[in-house]
């Protein structure tokens, strides 16, 4: 099993540009999470999907952020327009059904907005 796959691993973009981060969860997992990690705030949950449906997006910083899960094997996190304060490492994680199930994280996407 390849685990959770995220792309790209690194992204450098200019302020104002649109950025799309991609995630392929582990096959068979029906819960998907997007987290953001910064030095100041640590790891924060941005959004949680269950069976492709967004359940909790209360962690999404503002309207510039949007996330989709069109099918069980793919999710995107989009930032439009991007700002320097969006610079962070973004992690995708997936798990089997059930809140107590352990989450498996991808390697993350390091986003730098200049």
Partner 1 sequence: DAKTTQPPSMDCAEGRAANLPCNHSTISGNEYVYWYRQIHSQGPQYIIHGLKNNETNEMASLIITEDRKSSTLILPHATLRDTAVYYCIVRDYNDYKLSFGAGTTVTVRA
Give the residues across from 110 on adjacent strands.
10, 89
Interface residue with partner 1 among 91, 94, 111, 113 (CB under 8 A) is 91
Task: Report d(CA 60, CA 36) in Å as an integer.
Answer: 10
- Binding of residue 48 to partner 1 (CB under 8 A): yes
- Binding of residue 47 to partner 1 (CB under 8 A): no
Q: Rounded to whole angstroms, what are the CA distances from 76 to 25, 27, 41, 66? A: 11, 16, 22, 8
Interface residue with partner 1 among 7, 55, 84, 114 (CB under 8 A) is 55
Of 17-25, 66-74, 75-83, 103-111, which segment contacts partner 1 by CB under 8 A?
Answer: 103-111
- Binding of residue 93 to partner 1 (CB under 8 A): yes
CA 74 to chain centre: 11
């Amino acid at each position: 099993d390849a685990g959770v796959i995220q792309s790209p691993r690194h992204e450098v973009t200019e302020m104002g540009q649109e950025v799309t981060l991609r995630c392929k969860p582990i096959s068979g997992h029906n819960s998907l999470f997007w987290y953001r990690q910064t030095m100041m705030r640590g790891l924060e949950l941005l959004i949680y999907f269950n069976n492709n449906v967004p359940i909790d997006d209360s962690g999404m910083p503002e309207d510039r952020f949007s996330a989709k899960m069109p099918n069980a094997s793919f999710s995107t996190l989009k930032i439009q327009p991007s700002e320097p304060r969006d610079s962070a490492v973004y992690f995708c994680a997936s798990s089997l059904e059930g809140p107590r199930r352990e989450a498996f994280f991808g390697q993350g996407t390091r986003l730098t907005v200049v």
